[in-house]
Amino acid sequence: MKLFAHRNRWLTLIGCIAILNPLLPNIAMGAENEVMYWVAPMDVNYRRDKPGKSPMGMDLIPIYADASAGDGVTISPEVINNLGVRTTQAERSRLWRSIDTVGYVDYDESMVSHIHLRTEGWIDYLATHSEGDRMKKGQLLLELYSPELVNVQEEFVQVLTSGNKRLIKASRARLAALGIPQDQIDSLEKTREVQQVIR
């Protein structure tokens, strides 16, 4: 059991050395370089000539002479190799414009109309044969028969003969609430003929 524990410790130590090995030359090189100035970790514009604390209470970071030579980040070749970074020379070539992707075809929601019946009944005639058929503006879509709509129309005709304005107004409102178009209500008031189907 002790042999197994010692072996694990040695393997862990060897693993740590292998990971830190590429970084050791950079750490040693940083120790040899001359410190130009010190900056705050959260604000690189805060510079000092000697070590100390930033306004946020953090230790200042040294900037070395060779660190200001370029604008980029330098990484050791060993780390680049371990990361699997590959570089190549830039060249002119054709940029392909075709992109394979997935698309969905759907209805234009602004062109779709929903029709909801406000009464019980059944459809006597339907102009379309399947879902998604196109309709033209003004084309008859369906004819609806509803016993309730027939009864409400008959009540409206009876109220018209009575001449009671309050009942006429209430009866018109009931017809409109059941979804009968205003032009059909006006036609019913003029002709006083009950329509068996609503178009």
Query: 0.75 cut: is pTM over it?
Result: no
Q: Is residue 196 situated within a structural domain?
A: no
Confidence of residue 61 (pLDDT cuts 50, 70, 90): confident
Tell whether 197 is covered by a domain. Answer: no
**Is residue 84's pLDDT more than 90?**
no
DSSP 115-179: ---SS--EEEEES-SSTT----TT---EEEE-HHHHHHHHHHHHHHHHT-HHHHHHHHHHHHHTT
Main-chain dihedrals φ then ψ at residue 110, nearest 5 degrees: -75, -15
Q: Residues 79, 7: one domain?
A: yes
Give the domain range for residue 176. 115-191
Longest dimension (CA), the chain: 111
Q: How far apart are CA 2 and CA 166, in angstroms?
A: 102
Asked if the structure places residue 9 within a domain, the reply is yes
Write the pLDDT tens digit of every residue in 144-153: 899 999 999 9
98 lies in a domain?
A: no
- Residue 91 covered by a domain: no
pLDDT beyond 50 at 184: yes
Q: Flag whether 26 is in a domain.
A: yes
